[in-house]
Amino acid sequence: MDGSKVLPGKYKYLAQLNLNRALHRRKPIDMQSMQQKFDKHIFNFTKMDKREILFEILNKNRQHKGNYLAINVSPLELGHCLLLPAMYSCLPQVVTADGLLAAIELFLLTKSPAVRMGFNGLCAHASINHLHFHFFHLQQQMLLETVEVEHLAGPCYVLLSFPSQGFVFQLSKHTDIQEFVGNVFKLVSFLQDNEKPHNIFITRGSSFQEKSPNSVRDHVRVYIWARKPACEAKEDAMFYPALCEMFGQLLFRKRDDYETVTEEVIANIMTDLTKEPFQSVVDQVRRMFQNP
Instruction: Enumerate residues 6+ apart whose C-beta is below 8 A from 7.
Output: 13, 14, 15, 261, 262, 263, 266
What is d(CA 128, CA 117) in angstroms, rounded to the nearest whole number? 17
What is d(CA 159, CA 261) in angstroms, rounded to the nearest whole number? 24
Closest CA to 165 of 152, 181, 183: 152
Catalytic (active site) residue 41: no
What is d(CA 134, CA 81) in angstroms, rounded to the nearest whole number? 6
The two most distant CA atoms of the chain are separated, in Å, by: 52
Q: What is the DSSP letter of 235?
A: T
- The β-bridge partners of 134 are 82, 118
What is d(CA 132, CA 277) in angstroms, rounded to the nearest whole number? 24
Contact by Cβ (8 Å): 223, 187: no
Question: Which amino acid is located at 178 in the chain?
Answer: Q
Question: Considering 125, 132, 198, 219, which one is annotated as catalytic?
Answer: 132
Instruction: Enumerate residues 6+ apart whose C-beta is below 8 A from 42.
Output: 29
What is d(CA 272, CA 70) in angstroms, rounded to the nearest whole number? 34
Look at strands 14-17 and 150-153 and give their pairing. Answer: unpaired
Give Cα separations from 25 to 74, 225, 258 (angstroms).
5, 24, 19
Residues taking part in catalysis: 132
